[in-house]
Amino acid sequence: MNNQPSTSFLARLAASVGALAGNVRFVGVTYRSKETQELARHTLLVGADYRNVITTSMEELTRMKGTLTDALEIEACDALILSCSQSLLAMDAGVPHPGNTKPDLYETICPGLRIHKQDGTLELCGLSVAKKVLEAGTYKTVNSKPLTIAKNKLNKELPRAKYRTLAVDVGAMESVRIGGSALEVE
């Protein structure tokens, strides 16, 4: 089954997002999560500088660390600071983050839109500013280690936790709204 939208939709999406190049703009997306099947209306800031997101997150973690008293939370904070530092160093060197599970698989078409180099699928990227759940999904219970739980708790407070990547696939992305124009995924 081909989950890719029509070529004409992809061309209109690329043109619309490309027209935003150099500017941060709001983009509305109605999206069904592949994992949970949750349907939600997202508002993203497309064109948000990921470096600034990571830098701000690292600064907030550094401030947070001084207020933490629990040893596990301090360890989690240190691990997140290290990850942010590795991200910034990787960006400076022009290489993927060492923990990146998809290194070198995507190429940026324009700020906020990237293409998978092997299969041609697209992803819309941006900073989440709003989300309204239209249909609740099914969420799995995850048995995480205490350190992972502590990192997740701290991470939720950071700008980097709001950075989203949404697949431009039929069945996942239902519509996109850019600059007052709606594009239905076909």
Q: How many CA atoms lie within 13 A of 155 on its CB side?
A: 18
pTM score, whole prediction:
0.79
The pLDDT of residue 1: 45
Interior angle at CA 151, CA 150 and CA 156, nearest 5: 105
Question: What stretch of H or E contains 115?
Answer: strand 113-116
Domain boundaries, the chain: 7-184
Q: For 42-68, write each residue's pLDDT tens digit.
A: 999 988 888 999 999 999 999 999 999
Instruction: Give dist(CA 79, CA 76) in Å, integer.
Output: 5
Q: What does residue 89 show for φ and ψ, rounded to 5 degrees?
A: -65, -40
pLDDT tens sequence across 71-121:
999 999 999 999 999 999 998 998 888 777 777 788 887 778 888 888 877
57 or 8, which is more confident: 57
Smallest Cα–Cα separation from 27: which of 15, 40, 45? 45
Backbone angles phi, psi at 129, to 5 degrees: -110, -20
